[in-house]
Amino acid sequence: MDSRINTDKRYNDYSSYIKRVFGERVQKVSIDAGFTCPNRDGTKGRGGCHFCNNSTFNPSYCGPESSITAQIDKGISFFRDKYRTQKYLAYFQAYTNTYGETDHLMEMYGEALNHPEVTGIVLGTRPDCLADDLLDELAKVNEKHYVAIELGAESTNNKTLEAINRGHSWEDTVDAVYRVKKRGIPVGMHIILGLPGESREDLLEHSKKVSELPVDFIKTHQLQIVKGSRFGWEYEKNPEKFRLFTAGEFIDLIVDFLEFLNPGIIVERFISQAPHDLLIAPRWGLKNFEFVAKVEKRLRERDTWQGRFSV
């Protein structure tokens, strides 16, 4: 296996990274701080991305009607019974969490960091919503607290990004990655595998393009058709438009994807799990840990590993 994989697994897993950085298990606690999105409020578009219903991202314990501190308290109480965790990362997850005036944003992040059990923040956002002055302020925070930024790239193909009404380009993502890394802040990327019109070769090209960038983490997601999204409406009328993977097919795709992925990139997640009452398709009936176990088994069966074919 590639010596750049900092784990005894066949891929660079996130839990091992967290233990290296913090010396213990650290749990993310999701926060909905009441943000919107430039692709919804008319700044760049209306209606949002075609795959999106933001309710699929939020756990039941968080909502903008509660303060950030109250949401963190609820999240900690939710996880405390499940895990023996000493510290938490406040995960600003819903919508675009760097979209606003810098002073106001820093106040919200500061409220989270003032919680005695929070050791850092993770900000989910779009690559076209990262002002330089905000990044400068976050770099200062990063000197004392852990800060990471997750960019919703979704695809490296500009035709796809336009077709799904994403409102930004791959070039915007590349620019954002370099501006974040310039400040010494860890940066992650989200990629959806299976968007309409993308071939298997296109999906593997995502892995190659991401590998060219100084990205710290990646989250891959299978395309999920959810209620309340444009794709949900289109799927009901024209299901043949969508190529939805079976669980077995997606496991093999992930293994192929890993083979081309830079072994230095930490893999945070393979799949996403929309709430059962919102998910239309595909319904695999697998929990995240079950899917991970199947990927690890498939890597062993194929005697392969992350970065096997990377340049």
Res 136 pLDDT > 80: yes
- Quickly state the pLDDT bin for 49 (edges 50, 70, 90): confident
Nearest to 54 by CA among 96, 98, 99, 94: 94
For 64, 163, 176, the CA distances from 168, given in Å and listed in that order, are: 26, 11, 11
pLDDT at 62: 58
Q: Is the pLDDT of residue 192 over 70?
A: yes
In this predicted structure, what is the pLDDT of residue 216? 98
The arithmetic mean of pLDDT across residues 294-307, rounded, is 97
Mean pLDDT over residues 58-74, rounded?
78
pLDDT exceeds 60 at position 40: yes
Rounded mean pLDDT, 211-215: 98
* pLDDT exceeds 70 at position 60: no
Give the pLDDT band (50/70/90) at residue 59.
low
Question: What confidence score (pLDDT) does residue 85 get?
Answer: 66
Q: Span 169-177, mean pLDDT?
A: 97
> Confidence band (pLDDT; 50, 70, 90) for 266?
very high
What is the model's pLDDT at position 2?
Answer: 82
Average pLDDT, integer, range 211-236 = 96
Q: Does position 157 have pLDDT exceeding 70, yes or no? A: yes
pLDDT bucket at 64, cuts 50 / 70 / 90:
low
Per-residue pLDDT at 61 = 56
Q: Is the pLDDT of residue 57 over 70?
A: no
Residue 296 has a pLDDT of 97
Q: Cα separation of 127 and 39, whole Å?
A: 12
In this model, does residue 56 exceed pLDDT 60? no
pLDDT at 193 over 80: yes
Portion of the chain with pLDDT greater than 70, in percent: 96
pLDDT for 55 equals: 60
How do residues 95-129 score in pLDDT, each as one tens digit? 899 999 999 999 999 999 999 999 999 999 999 99
Of 26-40, 51-65, 173-187, 272-286, which range is least confident? 51-65
pTM, 2 dp: 0.93
pLDDT of residue 78: 84
- CA-nearest of 283, 280, 274 to 58 is 274
What domains can you pick out in the chain, each with its CATH number? Answer: 14-301 (3.20.20.70)
